[in-house]
Amino acid sequence: MATLKFSTASSGDSSQIVINTTINENVNDGDIVRSKIAGAHGLVEKANDTGVGAVGVAMASGSVGASIDVIYQGTYQVNFTEESLSSSDIGKRVFVSSTSGQATITPPSATGKTLIELGLLRDTNGTCYINPQTLMIL
């Protein structure tokens, strides 16, 4: 069973929408995940740029079948495919990568991929304002 929580971030600068739910595969803290209609072990899995679904970020690491909090709106540190982010990247749009569970500042462009904007980059450590939206299927 999923549990919905509304809260104010500890920094006080944004509200959060967080759902506690079971995971269908192993995830790491900061991995991008998507809702799954049904899974043998849970209701979320790592997301990538193929397919659509509600997208959030895992707020803890966990193994298959574990319950974790997933943030669907608010500020949280996200895992990126880029080796490093620079100060010139702050404020850029963040997208779901082709690498499962990872974000990128480079939007996908290949035919058949789904352009999903996760939010905006707030810091070079990968902290993002998360407000996901599916933009289009390429």
User: What is the model's pLDDT at position 1?
Assistant: 46
Using CA atoms, how far residue 138 sits from 59, 84, 114, 120, in Å, is 29, 27, 6, 21
Provide the β-strand partners of residue 93: 120
3-state helix, strand, coil in the chain (%, to 5): 0, 45, 50
Q: What is the pLDDT along the chain (138 residues), one digit of tens a residue?
A: 455 555 555 555 558 889 998 999 999 999 999 987 766 667 888 998 887 777 899 999 999 999 999 999 999 999 999 778 999 999 999 999 999 999 999 998 888 888 999 999 999 999 999 999 877 776
Take residue 49 and report the two structure tokens written for it: 């740029």
User: What is the model's pLDDT at position 135?
Assistant: 74
User: What is the model's pLDDT at position 5?
Assistant: 57
